Amino acid sequence: MAEVTLAPCNHALSGEIEVPGDKSISHRAIILGSLANGVTNITNFLDGEDCMRTIHAFQSMGVSITKEGSTVTIDGKGISALKEPKEPLYFGNSGTTTRLMLGILSGLNFFTTIYGDESLAKRPMDRVVNPLREMDATIDGRNTGNLLPLSIRGKQLKGMEYTLPVKSAQVKSAVLLAGLFADGNTTVVEKTQTRDHTENMLEAFGADITRSGLSTTITSNHKLIASDVHVPGDISSAAFFLVAGAIVQGSDITLNNVGLNETRTGIIDVLIKMDADLEIQNKRLVSGEWIGDITIRHSELKGITIDGEIIPRLIDEIPVIALLASQANGETVIKDAEELKVKETDRIAAVVDVLSTLGANIQGTEDGMIIKGKTPLKGGKIASYHDHRIAMMGAIASLVTNDTVTIDDASSISISYPSFFEHLNSLK
């Protein structure tokens, strides 16, 4: 799949969708299952390219991992059984694999080289490398260790207390995972709460971890215990259909079994504040994570300000929230989201480019964007920037344009949502 042309949708969308497993949780399940002793069964694993990178990384270190569709079985033999990989590890487009693996590889007593695709090679790694070096890690690479390829000479690490300078769950997770191998305690303090799937799963796998407000402490532990994981549906994938339901006249869509961890539900808060017609049912706790069914119906929406502590709770949803805002009455201001510039692409520039090509009134700022709605959207040819979330936002936009939308390359969608077009067509 390269170029894709989508016709506008001139009727209501209705139906039920089961979005695929959560990307963040799928990565973490592979990581902890591979470090643990015993058999870990993972169900509803996200069969997307990024998560496959994490599987391949551990297979290259000798871990037995088998996968049948969305079910994965890991026969974990514990940390000491991991072996030096014979080849450099390729992480493709996956920032999560890279940053979390840096934390782990730093504490394993062997040498590894890691590299990625063109986008990953541009993304900053010093945010992880700097704290790991404070823990005594030996990491080197381009730009004094900020850019891939990087090489890691694993060794005994020492614990530390670290206050995160960036709002990043990947950095928090890398330091906590390194803490599993470090002498003494490792404490991470956040200024703003980011997703806490690593902490939840470390608890489930028997790590010695304590949480108090925005501070998390882990004590060295080489004996994680295997624990089965059922992965909730990814709210970041559900977000595309939540927006579709909210903006397409007459729509009524239900998304079943979606992860509702509070550190991820910023999009729901935004939709409610914008006056969306949204309902959550069957909320329940599964494998330590909240899940539920979300129903969204079309309604008149109003612009709002999105800033401060909510930003990490919806950081990956901002491209599709910008589209939502273009169909809301009044002004929507998104602030404090400078992290968007270092995602798979500069998502401020990409969103502004795509939505203004389609006729939206949108302006980029240093840390976000300002969107004035409601604007009728027109067809056109848009660039995906090889970014899955930009490509999917463009596809959802095409539902409300007056003419066809051509996406230059939609292949990146398989990174997080391989069945996206199948699900989209099922609603049409």
The answer to whether 57 touches 291, Cβ cutoff 8 Å, is no
Determine the distance from the C-alpha atom of residue 21 to the mean position of all C-alpha atoms in its chain, rounded to a whole number. 11
Determine the distance from the C-alpha atom of residue 146 to the mean position of all C-alpha atoms in its chain, rounded to a whole number. 21
Contacts with ligand S3P, residue ranges (CB under 6 A)? 24, 96, 168-170, 173, 195, 315-316, 339
Q: Which is nearer to ligand S3P, 234 or 293 (CB)?
A: 234
Torsion of CA 265, 268, 270, 272, to 10 degrees: -150
Structure tokens at 273: 């504040």
> Which of these is catalytic: 316, 353, 367, 408?
316
Least distance to ligand S3P, CB of residue 329, Å: 29
Structure tokens at 322: 């910008």
Least distance to ligand S3P, CB of residue 171, Å: 6
Least distance to ligand S3P, CB of residue 173, Å: 6
Q: Which is nearer to ligand S3P, 96 or 221 (CB)?
A: 96
Least distance to ligand S3P, CB of residue 316, Å: 5
Q: Which is nearer to ligand S3P, 187 or 416 (CB)?
A: 416
Residue 140 annotated among the catalytic residues of the structure: no
Q: Which is nearer to ligand S3P, 170 or 357 (CB)?
A: 170
Least distance to ligand S3P, CB of residue 118, Å: 18
Q: Which is nearer to ligand S3P, 60 or 168 (CB)?
A: 168
Nearest CA-CA partner of 244 in 294, 316, 296, 293: 296
Q: Which is nearer to ligand S3P, 248 or 337 (CB)?
A: 337
Beta bridge partners of 297: 252, 277
Least distance to ligand S3P, CB of residue 381, Å: 27
Q: Which is nearer to ligand S3P, 203 or 277 (CB)?
A: 203
Least distance to ligand S3P, CB of residue 237, Å: 11
**CB-based contacts of 98, cutoff 8 Å, min separation 6:** 91, 114, 116, 120, 123, 125, 148
Least distance to ligand S3P, CB of residue 123, Å: 9
Distance between CA 290 and CA 286 in Å, rounded?
6
Q: Which is nearer to ligand S3P, 169 or 310 (CB)?
A: 169
Q: Which residues are designated catalytic?
A: 316
